[in-house]
């Protein structure tokens, strides 16, 4: 990308500031809890029409797709955001801000590297950092490219924006339906993906996977006044919990890029759950974070080995472990029953897609820094399952997601409009090696 074009793109992003900021506010002001994204999807479609996208549509599950086609044949780069968000929780925790108010003010906010704070303009509200500001920036990046084309600037490939449903439940149900069902039906495909999940304008290169497991420990009921006549499943679960905490967790492997695998016992329930009855079933919900090389099957096997060990020494110990499932219903009424697992993935800093994306950002004068997510994203589908080159780039800051301090810097939003467009232009003109399947 030549210096003149880079300068023009930065100037165009500044000119678009009022539009993208107002659009971000409108998105934050539109509640879109998982399964209730319909009103938000209408806003996305209307904005893409206003910005001059060549095509835009909604699929049968409620996902949104918009295309800006280049003047030459080339790869299709997907810029992806999810449309749903988590509950704002108790509004009393929001320090006077309305969770759906999208108020703009100058406030103390973390610097890019979290090495202090500075005062700058921010938008406050639920999903400002997960991911409505990133979503607005991606849509406006497509608008910037459409404007460049209208002004006679040629470029290769197709810029594809996708807004998917139900990312927050973490089963990739929206992204999976979009890629595996909608794309083939529409004659579409994609060569790489850029996620708008929070990165603080850094390039993110992967994250651990997650599998949710349910362990059921069995006992036998008796009256609470005569506990010796029963087998208390809570007591039987205690040595299992101890071994998971003191033996399994410390022994889990570590990845040099993504960090250590982990396991957390987050929910304990029992049945029948009455004060005068010794419980005959105790349910343990485990959140297991995986690194490359691990799978849901290997994680289940670790728990099963502990169960087998305890059963061998205690004839009364009985338990089983399974991967949890959930039924997810979209706002259009489509239902999927899915396993609660997301695969880990990573891409190297030296990968040709990454180096091309970095070159695009550098051409704008943006300092290129790298990182990884602590949480999971729909990159588990594009990279974890499909092994397509995948990165993250976004104006939002991960530490504010899902908190009552949810906010986004407006200066970062403007930079990311130009940044997303530059990533597209540089990666679209990269050679075929930039789109080869990734592995680890």
Q: Is 223 buried (19+), middle (13-18) or exposed (0-12) by CB count in 10 A?
A: exposed
Beta strands at 254-255 and 318-323: parallel, antiparallel or unpaired: unpaired
Structural domain ending residue among the three candidates 327, 359, 384: 327
- Asked if residue 336 belongs to a domain, the reply is no
- Asked if residue 307 belongs to a domain, the reply is yes
What's the structural domain count of the chain?
Answer: 2
Tokens for 183?
A: 């794309």
Say yes or no: 53 and 158 in one domain.
yes
Structural domain ending residue among the three candidates 276, 297, 327: 327
Gyration radius of the chain over CA positions:
24
- Asked if residue 337 belongs to a domain, the reply is no
- Asked if residue 333 belongs to a domain, the reply is no
pLDDT of 117 = 97
Q: What is the DSSP letter of 210?
A: E
Q: Strands of 165-299 (E only): list them.
A: 192-195, 203-204, 206-207, 209-218, 254-255, 259-260, 262-271, 281-290
> By residue range, what is the domain housing residue 429?
3-207+344-435
For the chain, the residue count is: 440
CA distance 255 to 208: 9
Say yes or no: 104 and 253 in one domain.
no
Say yes or no: 18 and 121 in one domain.
yes
Say yes or no: 15 and 27 in one domain.
yes
CA distance 287 to 304: 15
Q: What is the largest CA-CA distance in the chain?
A: 85
| CATH number of 112's domain | 3.40.630.10
Say yes or no: 200 and 57 in one domain.
yes
Say yes or no: 157 and 73 in one domain.
yes
Say yes or no: 125 and 223 in one domain.
no
Predicted confidence pLDDT, tens digits, the chain (440 residues): 799 999 999 999 999 999 999 999 999 999 999 999 999 999 999 999 999 999 999 999 999 999 999 999 999 999 999 999 999 999 999 999 999 999 999 999 999 999 999 999 999 999 999 999 999 999 999 999 999 999 999 999 999 999 999 999 877 999 999 999 999 999 999 999 999 999 999 999 999 999 999 999 999 999 999 999 999 999 999 999 999 999 999 999 999 999 999 999 999 999 999 999 999 999 999 999 999 999 999 999 999 999 999 999 999 999 999 999 999 999 999 999 999 999 999 999 999 999 999 999 999 999 999 999 999 999 999 999 999 999 999 999 999 999 999 999 999 999 999 999 999 999 999 999 999 999 98
| CATH number of 220's domain | 3.30.70.360
Say yes or no: 141 and 34 in one domain.
yes
pLDDT of 36 = 97
Residues 6+ apart with CB under 8 A from 83: 32, 37, 40, 41, 44, 64, 135, 163, 164, 165, 167
Say yes or no: 200 and 251 in one domain.
no
């Amino acid at each position: 990308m030549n210096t003149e074009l880079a300068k023009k793109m930065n100037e165009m992003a500044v000119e678009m500031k009022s539009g993208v900021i107002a659009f971000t506010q409108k998105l934050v002001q539109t509640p879109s809890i998982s399964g209730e994204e319909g009103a938000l999807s209408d806003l996305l479609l209307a904005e893409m029409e206003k910005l001059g996208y060549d095509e835009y549509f909604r699929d049968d599950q409620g996902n949104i797709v918009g295309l800006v086609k280049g003047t030459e044949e080339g790869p299709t780069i997907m810029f992806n955001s999810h449309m749903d968000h988590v509950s704002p929780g108790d509004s009393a925790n929001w320090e006077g801000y309305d969770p759906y108010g999208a108020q703009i003010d100058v406030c103390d906010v973390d610097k890019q590297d979290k090495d202090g704070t500075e005062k700058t303009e921010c938008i406050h509200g639920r999903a400002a950092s997960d991911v409505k500001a990133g979503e607005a920036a991606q849509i406006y990046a497509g608008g910037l490219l459409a404007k460049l084309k209208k002004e006679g600037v040629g470029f290769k490939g197709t810029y594809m924006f996708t807004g998917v449903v139900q990312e927050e439940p973490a089963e990739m149900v929206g992204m999976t339906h979009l890629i595996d069902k909608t794309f083939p039906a529409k004659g579409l495909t994609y060569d790489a993906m850029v996620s708008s999940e929070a990165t603080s304008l850094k390039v993110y290169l992967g994250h651990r996977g997650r599998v949710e497991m349910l362990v059921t420990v069995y006992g036998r009921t008796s009256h609470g006044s005569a506990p010796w006549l029963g087998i208390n499943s809570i007591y039987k679960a205690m040595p299992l919990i101890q071994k998971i905490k003191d033996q399994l967790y410390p022994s889990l492997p570590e990845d040099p890029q993504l960090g250590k695998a982990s396991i957390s016992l987050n929910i304990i329930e029992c049945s029948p759950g009455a004060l005068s009855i010794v419980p005959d079933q105790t349910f343990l919900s485990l959140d297991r974070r995986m690194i490359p090389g691990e799978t849901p099957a290997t994680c289940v096997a670790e728990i099963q080995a502990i169960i087998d060990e305890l059963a061998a020494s205690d004839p009364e110990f009985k338990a089983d472990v399974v991967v949890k499932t959930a039924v997810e219903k979209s706002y259009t009424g489509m239902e999927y029953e899915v396993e609660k697992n997301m695969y880990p993935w990573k891409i190297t800093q030296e990968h040709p897609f990454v180096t091309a994306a970095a070159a695009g950002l550098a051409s704008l004068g943006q300092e290129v820094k790298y990182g990884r997510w602590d949480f999971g994203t729909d990159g588990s589908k594009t990279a974890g399952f499909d092994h397509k080159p995948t990165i993250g780039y976004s104006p939002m800051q991960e530490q504010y997601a899902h908190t009552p301090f949810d906010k986004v810097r407006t200066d970062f939003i403007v930079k990311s409009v130009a940044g997303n467009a530059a990533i597209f232009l540089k990666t679209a003109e990269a050679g075929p090696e930039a789109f080869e399947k990734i592995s680890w």
